[in-house]
Each structure stands twice: as structure tokens, then as C-alpha cells.
Amino acid sequence: MISEAAILKALEEKPMRIQAILARTAPGGSEETLRSILLKMRDAGKVLFNINSGMWTKA
């Protein structure tokens, strides 16, 4: 299972695309589940999404 803490830890180093986050947090996990969690975290102000580069960063 993918946790918010694992996502934030993965994003501490550098901005990442969704596939790279998935590889670090839950290899073989569901990309749709990760995307759902990231969108909830974005709404809460914990992460930011750059639409131009397609990268997620820690807020």
C-alpha cells in the first residue's frame, strides 16, 4: 500500500514523475491509486504539480 509519508519521503530529494514515485514507493503498485493519493495531497497543500514538466514536488 502506498502511504503519504512514503510519497513525501520520495519527493524530498527532487521533483519526480508519477512513474518514478511509484517505483520508489510501491513497485508493481497501481498508478491510479497513486494518482488519487497525489491529487488528495495536492488539495491539502502537501505536494505541488508542475503541469509544464509533469513533475510532482513536495510543497
For the entire predicted model, the pTM comes to 0.90
The H-assigned helical ranges of the chain are 4-10, 18-25, 31-43
Instruction: Tell which wins on pLDDT, 28 or 44.
Output: 44
Cβ contact 20:9 at 8 Å: no
**pLDDT at residue 8 tops 90:** yes
**pLDDT at residue 1 tops 90:** no
Note the pLDDT of residue 30: 92
Helix (H) or strand (E) holding 17: none
CATH number listed for the domain at residues 4-58:
1.10.10.10
Note the pLDDT of residue 28: 87
Which residues have C-beta within 8 Å of that of residue 23, sequence separation ≥ 6? none
Q: Which sequence spans correspond to the domains of the chain?
A: 4-58
